[in-house]
Amino acid sequence: MKKYTTVFALLLMGFCLLCPSTGAAQEIRVLVDGLPVTFDSSPVLQGGRVLVPFSAIAESLRAEVKWDPISKKVTAYREGRIVELQIGNQTAWINGRPVFLDRAPTIIGGRTLIPARFFAESLDCRVDWDGQNVLITSPRQKMTVVGFYALGDSRTSSWTNLFGKPYPNFETGNTDIISDLALGWYSVDAEGNLLTGSTTGWRRPEGWERVLEAADARGLQYEMVIHVTEKGNTITRLMASEAAVDNFVSAVLAESQYYHGVNLDFEGLGLGTDYQAERQMFTALVNRLYSALQQAGKTLTLTLHPPNSSYRGYDYAALGAIADRIIVMAYDYGPRPEPDHMVIQAVETAVREVPKDKLILGISLPSENAESLAKRIGIAKRYGLNGIALWRLGLVGDQHWQVIREAILPRS
């Protein structure tokens, strides 16, 4: 008998290992625009409804929040919507209109938990449930969308991708969602001479005036981009010469008459250990150029390596106080698609030093698919950035355009 009891016990133990306990708590994740929301206490499932900590879900949707400890009422404000919920009360209010809840907000472990679906939908989000994850898609948001217009060939033509017709014909194309053009047509040498052709492939095309005419017809803003790398110490030699800087500023100022502004894309600074000197020289050059452009009524955008890259020659705080906008090139980290946590780290670092309404998230289309592009836009939304910049027109596929249109409202 003892033998059979032992066998039965072993079989029962094996069955328990193979079968999960029905009493085990289900781990629930909440994702906003494909990105997980971090909570200080776990969401719970009650009566078929997911309840989530109020402050974290509100922050992820960029809603301002207020807690009244006397009435035990939580209030969220976002883009003209006011949502009010009260602990233990199955009536909520949206802009003063009562709405019945089938599960009341509650307090568990000192944390205020609210119904996830109701709260997100009350802020005009789409909410889905896949059995374990709450999938929230935030509403379309007005944002700047910069398109880099550069390089290309007949197959990857920036013109055709933007205007919907082969050059020189044009129609609306995708100009309904692109608001700004970064025209990658210039470079510079160590003597400060402005170049319309370079060894890196940046060049001003023949018929460039036609691009400006078409952009004007579609109401687009556009800046001339000056791109140069530190190969051969070109940038540091330029910055170290007062005469070269004078020459550069004068040349850019003269050429900027054809554009709404200037976009400075100086890449590769600060790779060595003595990066502080390069930071100071670059900030001084930007300050000189900005002062000249401001007097001429032109804008200045900086396209910079991200603050978590190997290139540390960019003082984000100082540059953010000078320039009108900064495009953060949060890519080229290695893996494709770009790692979410690295892009988030770049943005979080940048917003600590630069006003968020000056920041634009740079996105490299060769590194991203449709799903990861939606996440990049979601990051820009979550941190309240000015917009996104696409490298580059000609590489934006139909699925990319669809993702952008579903997430963004063009600025009027």
Q: Let me know whether 313 and 166 are in one domain.
A: yes
Asked if residue 13 belongs to a domain, the reply is no
Mean pLDDT of the region 129-142: 94
| pLDDT exceeds cutoff 50 at 348 | yes
Q: What is the pLDDT of residue 386?
A: 98
> What is the average per-residue pLDDT within 157-166?
96
Cα 148 versus chain centre, distance = 16
| 91/171 same-domain check | no
Query: CATH no. for residue 391?
Result: 3.20.20.80
The answer as to whether 6 is a domain residue is: no
Q: Which domain holds residue 374?
A: 141-410
- Is the same domain home to 78 and 221? no
**Are 140 and 387 within 8 A, CB to CB?**
no
pLDDT band of 307, cuts 50, 70, 90: very high
Question: Are residues 156 and 130 part of one domain?
Answer: no
In the predicted model, is pLDDT for residue 211 greater than 60? yes
Last-in-domain residue among 99, 116, 137: 137
> Is residue 231's pLDDT more than 60?
yes
What is the average pLDDT across 318-334? 98
- What percentage of the chain reaches a pLDDT higher than 90? 87
Residues 146 and 205 in one domain: yes
Question: Does residue 127 belong to any structural domain of this protein?
Answer: yes
Position 22 in a domain: no
Q: Identify whether residues 130 and 245 lie together within a single domain.
A: no
Looking at residue 159, its pLDDT comes to 96
CATH number reported for the structural domain that contains residue 55 in this entry: 3.30.457.10
Q: How far apart are CA 280 and CA 289, in angstroms?
A: 14
Is 191 a member of any domain?
Answer: yes
Residue 272 is predicted with a pLDDT of: 83
> Which pLDDT belongs to residue 411?
78
- Regarding whether 246 and 128 lie in a shared domain, the answer is no
Residue 7 is assigned to a structural domain of this protein = no
pLDDT over threshold 80, residue 127: yes
Does the pLDDT at position 189 exceed 60?
Answer: yes
Does a structural domain hold residue 372? yes
Note the pLDDT of residue 273: 81
Burial class of residue 307 (count of CB atoms within 10 Å of its CB; 0-12, 13-18, 19+):
buried
pLDDT tens digits, residue range 81-119?
A: 999 999 999 999 999 999 999 999 999 999 999 999 999
pLDDT digit string, tens, across residues 364-398: 999 999 999 999 999 999 999 999 999 999 999 99
Among 120, 137, 154, give the residue marking a domain's end. 137
Confidence of residue 26 (pLDDT cuts 50, 70, 90): low
Do residue 76 and residue 216 come from a single domain? no
Summary mean pLDDT of the chain = 92
387 with 359: CB under 8 angstroms? no
Q: Are residues 178 and 130 located together in one domain of the fold?
A: no
Number of domains the chain contains = 2
Give yes or no: residues 273 and 292 share one domain: yes
Whether 273 and 321 map to the same domain: the answer is yes
The last residue of one of the domains, among 137, 155, 190, is 137
User: 266 and 310 share a domain?
Assistant: yes
**pLDDT higher than threshold 90 for residue 338:** yes
Residue 253 covered by a domain = yes
pLDDT of residue 342 exceeding 50, the answer is yes
> What mean pLDDT is predicted for residues 227-246?
97
pLDDT digits (tens, 9 = 90+) for 349-364: 999 999 999 999 999 9
Cα dihedral angle (149, 151, 157, 158), rounded to 10 degrees? 0
- Three-class HEC string of the chain: CHHHHHHHHHHHHHHHHHCCCCCCCCCCEEEECCEECCCCCCCEEECCEEEEEHHHHHHHCCCEEEEECCCCEEEEEECCEEEEEECCCCEEEECCEEEECCCCCEEECCEEEEEHHHHHHHCCCEEEECCCEEEEECCCEEEEEEEEECCCCCCCCHHHHHHCCCCCCCCCCCCCCCCEEEEEEEEECCCCCEECECCCCCECCCCHHHHHHHHHHCCCEEEEEEEEECHHHHHHHHHHCHHHHHHHHHHHHHHHHHCCEEEEEEECCCCCCCCHHHHHHHHHHHHHHHHHHHHCCCEEEEEECCCCCCCCCCCHHHHHCCCCEEEEECCCCCCCCCCHHHHHHHHHHHHCCCCHHHEEEEEEHHHCCHHHHHHHHHHHHHCCCCEEEEECCCCCCHHHHHHHHHHEEECC
Reported as a single tens digit per residue, the pLDDT across 271-305 is 988 899 999 999 999 999 999 999 999 999 999 99
